[in-house]
A = this chain, B = another copy of it.
Amino acid sequence: MPDRVGILLRATSGPGVLHQMTGVIAKHGGDIASVEIAGHNAPEARVYFEISVDGDAEPLLADLRALPAVLELSRVSTLDKVYGKRIIIMGGGAQVGQVAIGAISEADRHNIRGERISVDTIPLVGEQPLADAVRAVARLPRACALVLAGSLMGGDIERAVREVRAQGLLVVSLNMAGSVPAAADLVVTDPVQAGVMTVMAIADTAKFNVARLQRRLF
């Protein structure tokens, strides 16, 4: 398994600069996992790469450093090491908050033992904003599980849930009205427990396994 390295660059901004960088990385056989560019409208940009490299990354770093556009380069921890796996909680504010309380408390217990689990949330109202947000979880780096926290969800939200589950995401739903619970991996009535169980399901330091449960409604 090749090592993933984090590289933070300060560079002159403008179209084409990223193309030069990806050329250098491709030449060294580096496999890019993500790129974030901050301040890309300013004269200077901060570019952050995560790259998988077989063997020593130093020759690749030296060639990146040698690009005229690159002003400064440093090696940093990857976001996976710093923030780890992400649980995403979305729905009504009151319930999102209660699920978050459970998930954060449980993540705390795992992170103390050396894991890294983040609990990310957005309160939203309405079928289309929620369906869009469910589908967009598939584009979020490091997202492992989704909790739908509300009192009524169905229609296009249900279709979106089935789509992201097909892409490998674990979906937990509160016990609620609408068709979303029937589409989820797991349905939990108490919001605090829904947060705790979701963290347990994705934690490496937990023995809990959704696939081995005898029932899916709690």
Contact = CB atoms under 8 A, between A and B. Distances in A.
Interface stretch (A112-120, A170-178, A208-216): A112-120
A23 interface: yes
A77 B129 CA distance: 11
A15 B34 contact: no
Contact of A101 (B41, B101, B116): B101
Interface in A35-67: 35-38, 40-41, 46, 48, 52
Interface of A: prevailing SS = mixed
Given A107-B122, A108-B93, A32 B29 contact: no
Contacts of A154: none
A138 to B, nearest CB: 8
Nearest to A37: B33
A105 interface: yes
Greatest chain B CB density within 10 A among A19, A30, A92, A138 is at A19
Q: Which 5 A-B pairs have the closest CB atoms?
A: A93-B108, A108-B123, A120-B120, A19-B22, A35-B35
16 contacts: A16-B26, A18-B26, A19-B23, A32-B35, A41-B52, A77-B136, A79-B136, A83-B122, A93-B107, A100-B121, A101-B101, A107-B123, A108-B123, A116-B122, A118-B121, A119-B123
